[in-house]
Amino acid sequence: MYLLFIFTLLTMTLSLLIMIIASLISKKTVLDREKNSPYECGFDPKSSARIPFSLSFFIFAVVFLIFDVEITLLLPMATVMNLSNIFSSIYVSIMFLIILLLGLFYEWAQGALEWSK
């Protein structure tokens, strides 16, 4: 146990030392306004170079991802029903679907599934 602690401490110290040395000898760049601005054929752009991100699209995508993962958890339940007690597997499947539907109704009530606001 003591030997493991020594090796861990030695590894962390060596890693930290290498990172500090690399930071000290690395090439430093001078921040310049012209170099940090977006370049568009030699003239300044008229609008922002960044496109605004739609938060409703992100929330909709996260909700879709969550329900997609839950569906993949539901698919193996059909094969498990043959291998275990039928009543317990049906009970687990129904409880899982109820929790899934409660989550869907909650997202619907919160307005996360609405595109236009």
> Which tens digits make up the pLDDT trace of 37-54?
666 566 655 666 666 777
pLDDT band at residue 16 under the 50/70/90 scheme: very high
d(CA 20, CA 14): 10
Res 15 pLDDT > 80: yes
d(CA 39, CA 35): 8
Most confident of 12-21, 29-38, 80-89: 12-21
How many H helices and E strands in the chain?
5, 0
State both tokens at 73.
């958890």
- The structure's pTM equals 0.47
d(CA 93, CA 53): 38
